[in-house]
Amino acid sequence: MNVAATVPPPNSVKRSPFGTKLLLSEDHPLCPGCGHPVALRVILEVLEELSLVGRSVGIFGHGCSAMMIGQMDVDLNLSLHGRAPATATGVKRMLPDRAVFTMQGDGDMVSEGLAEVLHTAARSEKITCFLLNNGVFGDTGGHMTAASVIGQRTKTDLTGRKAEEHGYPIPISKLVASLDGVSYVARASVHNAAGITQAKRFVRKAFEHQMQRTGFSLVEILTMCPTGWVSKTADGPAYMMETLGQQMGLGELKDSLAAG
């Protein structure tokens, strides 16, 4: 059957009237109360506001964040576990005028791909990495990650992380900020309206650093995972700030433009 190009398909996805036209649907495939879709909306809004939509490329890692790749109208690539920074490096070197970013969970970036992000940062690759950190492997059963904080519970350990048993969490943003060649590092949260506003400001600054080619940039965004924490949906934001938020803190860890 021939259909005119001006006529939308009968089962086309509805676009969200909220926030950004890059979001293809008001629905998402993740659990109720998940903070990942909020973080995604913030990033898409910034791409639009900075007029980077037509020149942006996103590289997604495996995990819950990868389940959102069908939700946005952006050029994307799905990489192997933990390898998003390496893939993004190749894209940026071939297309240096593009705004290249990665989106990974803490399981993907900190547990499976720690070497990748550290080496990418140390090389001062001009890309921006976004870490959606909920301290749990939400996509593969709810076990703790290298970023789970002390006392934080997950489905597979309801008593919470213990240093004597599991070791201490890896403070990835702090590690990255300590490296030469890194231009911007910040940690935000999406637990409330003020946190979302701060997250958006940090995301904008990270992209601005990339487009000015000042160095590598990373924004860690704390996100809720009530399912992985065995919490009620409504209790997710509070539990996150009692655990991840309290032990890690929010704010900018490094800003070479401000320092200069």
Could you give the CA distance from residue 85 to residue 69 in angstroms, rounded to a whole number? 17
Those residues with Cβ within 8 angstroms of residue 180's Cβ, 6 or more apart along the chain or in another chain: 122, 124
CA dist list (Å): 243 to 111, 132, 149, 229: 19, 15, 7, 11
Beta carbons of 136 and 143 less than 8 angstroms apart = yes
Exposed/middle/buried for residue 228 (C-beta within 10 Å: 0-12, 13-18, 19+): buried
Query: In angstroms, what CA-CA distances link 86 with 16, 61, 92, 97?
Result: 32, 11, 10, 18
pLDDT at 9: 52
How is the chain split into domains, by residue range? 36-259
CB 102 within 8 A of CB 206: no
What confidence tier does 31 reach under pLDDT thresholds 50, 70, 90?
A: confident
Question: What fold does the segment set 36-259 form as a domain?
Answer: Rossmann fold (3.40.50)
pLDDT of residue 18: 47
Mean pLDDT of the chain, nearest integer: 89
Whether 227 contacts 138, CB under 8 Å: yes
At 139-181, the pLDDT tens digits run: 777 789 999 999 999 988 899 999 999 999 999 999 999 999 9
DSSP for residue 154:
B
pLDDT confidence of residue 72: 82
- Integer Cα distance of 23 and 37 in angstroms: 10
DSSP state of 62: S
pTM for this model (two decimals)? 0.90
Task: Enumerate the β-bridge partners of residue 130.
Answer: 103, 219
CA angle 163, 164, 170 (to 5 degrees): 30
Statement: residue 138 has pLDDT above 80: no
- Span 45-75, pLDDT tens digits: 999 999 999 899 999 988 888 888 888 888 9
- The answer, yes or no, to whether residue 216 has pLDDT greater than 50, is yes
